[in-house]
Structure 1
Amino acid sequence: MVIRNGEQGNIGQASYCLSKAIMADPKDVTLKLHRASLHVELGDYQKAAESFDQIYQLSPENIEALKTGAKLYQKGGQLEHSIRILEDYVKGHPSEADTSVIDLLASIFMESNSYDKALQLIEHAKLVYYSGKELPLNLTIKEGICHANLKNMEKAEVLFSILQRESVNDHSHLIAEAADSLMSLEHYDSALKYYLMLEGSAKGDNGFLYLKIGRCYLFLKERVQAIFFLYKVLQMLEDNIDARLTLASLLLEEAKEDDAISLLAPPKNFDSIELPPEKSKPWWLNEKVKLKLCTIYRDKAMVEEFVDAIFPLVRESLYVETLHPKVKVKKRLSRRVLFERVKVLNDRETENVFRGFRPVAPSSDLSKAARAKRLLQKKATIREKKKAEALASGADWQSDDSDDDPPQEVHREPPLPNLLKDEEHHRLIIDLCKSLASLQRYWEALEIINLTLRLAHSMLSVEKEEELRSLGAQIAYNTTDPKHGFDCVRYIVQQHPYSLAAWNCYYKVISRVDNRDSRHFKFLRGMLSKLVDCVPPIIIYAHQFTMASNHQHAATKYLEAYKRLPENPLINLCVGTALINLALGFRLQNKHQCLAQGLAFLYNNLRLCENSQEALYNIARAYHHVGLVTLAASYYEKVLAIREKDYPIPKLPCENPDIVGNQKPGYKPGYCDLRREAAYNLHLIYKKSGALDLARQVLKDHCTI
């Protein structure tokens, strides 16, 4: 009956019966063996080991019970107890002992790095049990491994040399054990010798053996042989990621980039390849393979291939990180799961003769089962209460089991799990954004930048964060829709508050944002109050009044900047234009005085600019604007007599010069020369005055291609 219950899966009942039977007959070894097997099946190695220990105490000749108990003690984390029972056996057999016990005890010593104790045990066995006899080969190899780990390589090589006289097929596991130990100790020459012995005689699937041989050649810096064996590995183990990546690195060292790319790139028509059910993910979808391939594309400056390979991985990883809840919500278990847990208690069958026995299961499972039982009882009580209320009110009762099987939330794992934690991945993100910008995929680059800055603000180094924000500002500077790069240009200004290039970039971005972003005004007021001696925010604030045609407030702000920098050409120009625009208004009483003051600032700008073409053009444009066309014409003619050279476009701090699109199509050679604009305005004056021939001649001389 015990066996039948165990076969039917009623482990609790079987254990209950076995306990009663053992109490009735404590010396029955078969019963104890059955109970030990049940404990092993439940994963309770402690009780299983105790049962095998009891079996050995009852039957000292049962060496298998002793060894099994020792192994289970070791598996259960009781290494000292495992060693103790085996040492007791050795001490209790001073003249003759089972070789397998010696071998097991030596193995346990070696696994715990106690090679000196293992060597003492083997030396004791040679003196006591094998005096005048040849030590078994398995103990000899273990002795050699101990000597190798204790840095006595000469003695180890002498002991391992016995393997060369033995049949490889009969002792392949010992040869592999010796080779593995030599390789772990970085004696690659010696390890390779024994691996090649196995390679010459082994049959069938040798993929892992070839992998070990390839690694030995790799450490010995024999790249050609390493490449040869790693190719053989992939013929048998195509999903071995480490072998594939190692081979790719070797091919790169041999300057065979194309071979490395073909090794890592997905196979052609990979979508149509049918994978076996047990294979969850093919090798070409492994994130390490993709990262290695992306690194090759990046190093070879294959920008489009690099972006196509890495962009989907980075984007999905960032989006998965944004979807992860900050607070873990307690999962609601369905009734089906609760019933499965309660089965451990196995006491729901009221008519069962075994009702009331103590279930055999790990304490964690018993605790879960007890909680599940209480939760089921609570749900049943709530359901009965709802049913009674519904019947009392005359409503139709329908069981509401909507919460019995709640939808399972699929936990998405990011393709690059350590994307935001690994510094190497941070550099990859920056390179990706630069590549996207160079391909003029500005929106996607800003998307990656903003997500990275939001999710990894505390993980990025100061240098990488500033580089990302500078890149975002540069993209916002170039794109037609800069609102998504506002945070980046704002950060650049905060880091470089006295940089004219930073403020130039900020103003260019703001001037192209539709509907006047409120963030801008809030930020600008904050900078004005914080940096009292900083002139650029004052000028930008004045520019906002000018754009709103509020020239009086604009002039006030410009004059405030003039008090701080009276010799600045731009400020003199802005004050002059604001006063002239103010003089043309209807409410001002002293218009002529205001106009004269404005012209005085423009002439001051002309002096500071040393009679430059731009300063002359500004004066001509002012005279033209107020109707003094004779004076305007004379200054336009002065502009036409000057050929202005181009000046470099201001660059942002930390700006990347490699991004295509930094030089806009509008910035053509001669973009600083104002002769065409002056000629067109002069032709308008001539045309209005009736001098049509002069007007046509000016256009012909300066405004034709």
Structure 2
Amino acid sequence: MEEVKTLAEFDAFEHPMELELGDGEGGEEDNDGDNNSKEADDEDEDEDEEGEEEEEEEDGSGEYKFQFGAEMDPLAFTEEDALGRQPYQQFEHLEHQYEALAAKKRKAPALPPSEIPAKKSRQEDRQEDGPGASYDEILEAMNYGMRRKSRKLKKRGRRKGSQSKVSSELKRKLGDATLHYAHGRYEEAKLVLREVIRLSPNLPDPYHTLGLIYNAMGDKKRAMNFYMLAAHLSPKDASLWNLLVAWSTEQGDRKQTRYCLSKAIKADPEDLSLRFHRASIYIELGDYQKAAEQYEQIARLRPNDVGVLKTAVQFYSKCGKHECSVGILEDYLKNHPTEADLSVIHLLAVIHMEDNAHLKALDLIEWAKQRYFIGKQMPLNLNIKAGICHLHLGHIEEAEIIFRAVQSENASQHPDIVTEVADSLMTLEYYESALKYYMMLVGDDNKNKGYLHLRIAECYVFLRERVQAIEYFYKAVNELEDSVDARLTLSSILLEDGKDDEAVSVLSPPKESGDSSSGTPKSWWLSSKIKLKLCQIYRAKGSLEACVDVIFPLIRETLFLKSVQPKVKVRRRLSKSVLNQRIKVVDDHQTDTIFHGFKPVALASDLSKAARAKKLLRKKEMLKEAKKAAALASGADWKSDDSDSEFPEEHVYREPPLPDLLKDEEHLCLIVDLCKALISLQRYWDALEIINLCLKLASSTLSVEKKGELQALGAQVGYNIADPIHGFDCARSIVSQHPYSFAAWNCYYKVISRLDNRHSKHSKFLNHMRAKHKDCIPPIIIAGHQFTTISHHQDAAREYLEAYKLMPDNQLINLCVGSAIVNVALGFRLLNKHQCVLQGMAFLHNNLRLSGNSQEALFNFGRACHHVGLVSEAAIYYQRVLDTHEDDYPIPKLPNENLDPVENRKPGYCDLRREAAYNLHLIYKNSGAHDLARQILKDYCTV
């Protein structure tokens, strides 16, 4: 027999522990007395080794047994070590290390004495074993500090009296403690038991008695701590582990429950209820693979329990382990060569068919027929499965022969089988045959009428029989109210038949329903697909307002959620109660439990959540202490706010109705059309909100064309709303993209003209554009216009003349220069007024020449003469305006701006004869020609 090795002070632990490993479980060391005498140790050594050997022969489990070291205080077992590790964490780490050493030792080949190599030096040993400590050094470290083992030959067999290792003194103390407990003297009992633990820390009886005492005192937590210690020191005591399982379950601690269940199963492998319980714990944790493994183990212990076998297969399939499911079922069939449960064959065939292994499924059914159904009729469900396999393999005739077993007479008795046949035919595009089997079930009290009618309608669609398809689609929609796809398909068919109103009614929510009273809409109406389809129908019909009412809330909600929520899904900030609940997975905050320190029993995601929760709680506590210190330092009263509602539910991430709104080209066109429709309906603020959100969220991803369209619409909205500042950014962006476009600058000035002239953004932008584009005329003219509006005519003339240098033949610039110089001439400080008037008239005459004596130029020249008092010349030019007819011309539009019928003016909106007539009548009236003035008004200014 292999010699038993004892491990102590391994891996630099502060408190040494002893773990014994061998062919058997190992015996307990007798720590009776103070052990002050070396002779006493030598006398007991042989007996202990023989006891160990006897127990090795009794138990061949090959597991180690936990024992306290001589220098360890069991009552302080919940304290952390210098590295911050709990005692059980150290124990688990030590266990893994020892198992690794044991595995390495078992793998070492046994050599005959003649082939044992000579002893090598320590350096050679290290070079051979690789970097780090050699195997001999590890064994030496394992035996360091332990008692020297006797080299005497061990005797085989049981020694008399080796079963009892408790001295008479300890027995007397345990008896006294039991009497104290029985008479309710708990404190005296605890004192005695602590003394017993000091003398013999590896004796489980005092821990068990302390558990009874604390349980009687009502301290169930401490009771469980001592029961846990007693259970570890007597790991084969199944009753203790079962008690711990029950208490852990009662506390709702799944981690602790599962650990205790594992120990209880090792103590009593025959108790299958424990394995069932552990499997249920795995299911609660969502670890279906381990749950399936547990049920597979149970199935091996109960090979005839088909229910357990099928449950294992179910959970293997749930986690995608189809090969494991197939292996379990195939093993069952191999172990039952003469008689097997038909449901196992059916289940295995279904798994093969789900994996598209129809040939395997067919071979399995044929094998089962030859093995189990010789001279018997094959069950209908297996026979139909064979027919479906033939159908997928292209054996149409064989499949039809098998499907003949299902007729209209017995179809109502097997609706699931008939539906399975029809679905298979439809999947393979045999629509006529599928329709025949579906129609067998029509009229029966079938729970799935909606699904049946939907499949029938789909068959009629593929067979191009629209009337029947519409009829059954209506039936399916009535049965399946929340079926979005059914409504969409039905509406498409109705549109193809020209029944637009019916399609709208199918997609529109009912006006009067049970849900309307409660204010809860139908669930299918919340689908974005339904609203998009309805919007398309309204657009095609030209129902602009109805289209906007449907699609605007959907797009607005999507853009709003994308703007207020980050691109990455973030979880809501959790309250302290939720964080504490997550930490329970690892119980790191419960330092007074003996079970603290075991490897956490939970999924990796749960452990990660628990770690983050612990950090968040620590951070919150530090922040709370900092606030408290600051409040106390300032002399204010400190009020703690530990409410659970500090992070409301509205901070939870919500998925937008249209996640790809700003990525899909069709959706972007829909946004542009929506904004145009909103502007046409004069819902300017709604349009501006959509435009700004789109430009903010997708400024870098929008195409130049779409971005330009949205900015043009934003600028158009800007000069139509009460506060044009909201359209300033759009107008500025257009000008930045088209700095030499007069239409873009016209739009910009149209927005700016309604703002304060000293608007900071405008001034900075205008100076930037003039500095960047020195030859750009519009910003110079705009600067001159602004000086004119505040009557700084000299500054305005200077700006206009600068523009005149760049473009002397421009009509507008000549007009502006002439007007500014004329206004300068009317000032009080100018000495050479007549010369200045002549210069201004020269520029106005130049404008008249460049325009080809247009009506507008004639009116402007006459108005200038009228302004400076040259009424005779003004009357002449006003009369020429009355004699000239001017055709209307379109108002300049922005880049990418479409002509809007709302902006169309009445005929004659470019004619200035009414203005000229009115000014002329004023001249006649002031000169005394009242009849002539009255006639002018009658001819040109009468409606």
Deviates further, 267-276 or 163-172: 267-276
Q: For residue 630 of structure 1, what is the aligned residue in structure 2?
A: 872
Report the more deviating stretch, 24-33 or 356-365: 356-365
1:541-620 matched pairs, under 5 angstroms: 541-620=783-862
Say whether residues 1:672 and 2:914 are aligned partners. Answer: no
The residue type paired with residue 531 of structure 1 is H
Q: Where in structure 2 are the equivalents of 1:642-657 lying within 5 Å?
A: 642-657=884-899
The aligned counterpart of 1:436 is 678
Match of 1:217 in 2: 460
Deviation at 1:618, TM superposition (A): 1.7
Match of 2:541 among 288, 293, 300: 300
Match of 1:310 in 2: 551
Displacement of 1:166: 7.2
Query: Tell me, which stretches of 5 or more residues in structure 2 are unaligned?
Result: 1-241
Question: Which residue of the partner structure matches residue 240 of structure 1?
Answer: 483
Q: Which amino acid aligns with 1:449?
A: I
Q: Tell me, yes or no, if the aligned pair for 2:563 and 2:697 is still in contact at 8 Å.
A: yes
After TM superposition, list the pairs within 5 Å mapping 1:467-482 onto structure 2. Answer: 467-479=709-721, 481-482=723-724
- Determine the structure 1 residue equivalent to 2:473: 230
Q: Which residue identity does 1:406 align to in structure 2? A: E
Aligned residues: 697
Tell me, in whole angstroms, the C-alpha distance in 1 between the residues paired with 2:852 and 2:495. 59
Letter in 2 for 1:300: K
Correspondence list, 1:60-459, <5 A: 60-90=303-333, 97-126=340-369, 128-130=371-373, 134-164=377-407, 167-204=410-447, 206-269=449-512, 273=516, 282-324=523-565, 332-344=573-585, 361-365=602-606, 368=609, 400-410=640-650, 411=652, 413=654, 416-418=657-659, 419-459=661-701
Equivalent-residue separation in structure 2 for 1:303 and 1:519 (angstroms): 36
Q: What amino acid sits opposite 1:463 in the alignment?
A: E
Q: CA deviation at 1:375?
A: 7.1
Structure 1 residues 52-63: aligned runs within 5 Å: 52-63=295-306
Between Structure 1 and Structure 2, whose CA radius of gyration is higher?
2
User: What is the aligned counterpart of 1:520 among 725, 738, 762?
Assistant: 762
Q: Distance in 1 between matches of 2:412 and 2:762?
A: 80
Query: Is the alpha carbon distance of 1:99 and 1:680 closer, same or farther for their aligned partners in structure 2, counting shifts above 3 Å?
Result: same
Shift of 1:632: 1.7
Q: Secondary structure at the match of 2:441?
A: helix
- Cα displacement string for residues 330-352 of structure 1 (whole angstroms, at most 9, x for unaligned residues): 85543432443455568999999
What corresponds to 2:919 in structure 1?
681
1:505 aligns with 2:734: no
Tell me, in whole angstroms, the C-alpha distance in 2 between the residues paired with 1:635 and 1:387: 85
**Which of 443, 459, 463 pairs up with 2:705?**
463
Query: Any conservation in 2 of the 1:287–1:415 contact (CA below 8 Å)?
Result: no
Decide whether aligned partners of structure 1 residues 593 and 348 sit closer, same or farther in structure 2, where only a CA change above 3 A counts: closer
1:704 aligns with 2:936: no
CA contact 2:515–2:521 (8 Å) conserved in 1 = no
Give the Cα separation in 1 of the matches to 2:515 and 2:609: 45
Change (3 A) 1:148 1:589: farther
Distance in 1 of aligned mates of 2:623 and 2:806 = 77
Q: Which amino acid aligns with 2:547?
A: F
CA distance in 2, matches of 1:423, 1:332: 35
Contact 1:619 1:635 in 2 (8 A): yes
Matched to 2:899, the amino acid is P
Q: Is the 8 A contact 1:471 1:656 kept in 2?
A: no
Asked if 1 retains the 8 angstrom alpha-carbon contact of 2:538 and 2:544, the reply is yes
Structure 1 residue 11: deviation in Å?
Answer: 5.1
Q: 2:921–2:934: 8 Å Cα contact kept in structure 1?
A: yes
Q: Any conservation in 2 of the 1:434–1:659 contact (CA below 8 Å)? A: no
Structure 1 stretches of 4+ moved >6 Å: 1-7, 326-330, 346-359, 373-390, 395-399
In structure 2, distance between residues paired with 1:497 and 1:510: 16
Please report how far the alpha carbon of residue 94 of structure 1 lies from its aligned counterpart in structure 2 after TM superposition.
6.0
Q: Which runs of 5+ in 1 are unaligned?
A: none
TM-score when normalising by structure 1: 0.86
Counterparts of 1:139 and 1:173 in 2: how far apart (Å)? 13
Distance apart, 1:368 and its partner CA:
4.6
Cα deviation per residue 1:481-515 (whole Å; 9 max; x = unaligned)? 43322222223333333333222222222222245
The superposition leaves residues 382-413 of structure 1 with CA deviations (integer Å, 9 ceiling, x where unpaired) of 999999999x99x9998835355524232373
Q: 1:12·1:346 contact (CA, 8 Å) conserved in 2?
A: no
Task: Give the drift of 1:161.
Answer: 3.4
Structure 1 range deviating more: 620-629 or 497-506: 497-506
CA offsets, 1:625-662, max 9 Å, x none? 222222222222222222222222222232223452x2
Partner of 1:694: 932
Q: Give the drift of 1:668.
A: 3.2
Offset at residue 615 of structure 1 (A) = 1.7
**Which residue identity does 1:142 align to in structure 2?**
K
1:495/1:173 CA distance change after superposition, 3 Å: same
Q: Give the 3 Å change call, closer, same or farther, for CA 484–125 of structure 1 in structure 2.
A: same
Which deviates further from its counterpart, 407-416 or 256-265? 407-416
Contact 2:384 2:403 in 1 (8 A): yes
| Most deviating of 243-252 and 10-19 | 10-19
Deviation at 1:433, TM superposition (A): 1.6
- SS state at 1:230 partner: helix
Over the matched positions of the two proteins, sequence identity in percent amounts to 60
| Aligned-partner Cα distance in 1 for 2:266–2:654 | 52
| Cα offset, 1:361, TM superposition | 4.2
User: Alpha carbon RMSD of aligned pairs, Å?
Assistant: 3.8
- The more displaced of 456-465 and 253-262 is 456-465
CA distance, structure 2, for counterparts of residue 497 and residue 258 of structure 1: 49
Cα displacement (A) at 1:5? 6.3
Q: d(CA) in 2 for partners of 1:637 and 1:351?
A: 107
The alpha carbon displacement at 1:290 in A equals 3.0
The range that moved more, 148-157 or 454-463, is 148-157
Cα distance in 2 for residues equivalent to 1:620 and 1:387: 81
The verdict on how the C-alpha distance between 1:344 and 1:502 changes in structure 2, with shifts beyond 3 A counting, is closer
Query: Would you say the 8 A contact 1:11–1:38 is kept in 2?
Result: yes
The whole-number CA distance in structure 1 between the counterparts of 2:797 and 2:831 is 16
**CA 1:101–1:605 in structure 2 vs 1: closer, same or farther (change >3 Å)?**
same
Cα distance in 1 for partners of 2:511, 2:820 equals: 67
Distance 2:582 2:722 in 1: 60
- Could you tell me how far 1:299 is from its partner in structure 2? 2.0
For residue 370 of structure 1, report the CA deviation from its aligned partner. Answer: 6.7
